[in-house]
Amino acid sequence: MVKQTERARLSPAGLDVYAMQKFSLEALGRELLERAASAGGRHSAETVVGGHERILRQTVVAMLGGSALAEHENPGEATVLVLRGRVRLSAGNASWLGRDEDLLVIPDSRHSLEALEDSVVLLTVAKLL
């Protein structure tokens, strides 16, 4: 039986959210690209660290070429690390291209992300308090 004090540390999957963990972002990216291709949504994502209830959140996002995350607000300080592929980050009249291993700093304004080819990125967001 899990004690009440321990329950707050568990993720919905029953994992200790404070325990050291290791992820293969390459393997997860491949799996998410397959999911995006079969699901019809053209992109798929999985949060690997944190979540909406935490300040820091890291999410692997896989996008099929030609798909986009529509313009939206920046919820805090954020970056996109391109793990695979080529993407375009746009904000207003400015845009930045990113490819394998590029780090894009997301501006503090409305922005969108477009996959120029099948791509996998690591989105890191630190919510402003």
pLDDT surpassing 80 at residue 11:
no
Phi first, then psi: give them for residue 31, nearest 5 degrees: -65, -40
CATH of the domain at 74: 2.60.120.10
Q: How far apart are CA 124 and CA 58, in angstroms?
A: 4
pLDDT per residue as tens digits for the range 50-71: 887 888 999 999 999 999 999 8
Domain hosting residue 86, numbered range: 24-127
Look at the alpha carbons of 91, 94, 99, 104 in this order and tell me if their dihedral is positive or negative. Answer: negative
Domain assignment of residue 56, yes or no: yes
Domain assignment of residue 15, yes or no: no
Domain assignment of residue 77, yes or no: yes
**pLDDT band at residue 18 under the 50/70/90 scheme:** low
pLDDT surpassing 70 at residue 15:
no
pTM over 0.75: yes
Domain count, the chain: 1
pLDDT per residue as tens digits for the range 94-112: 999 999 999 999 998 999 9
User: Which residues on adjacent β-strands are paired with residue 58?
Assistant: 49, 124
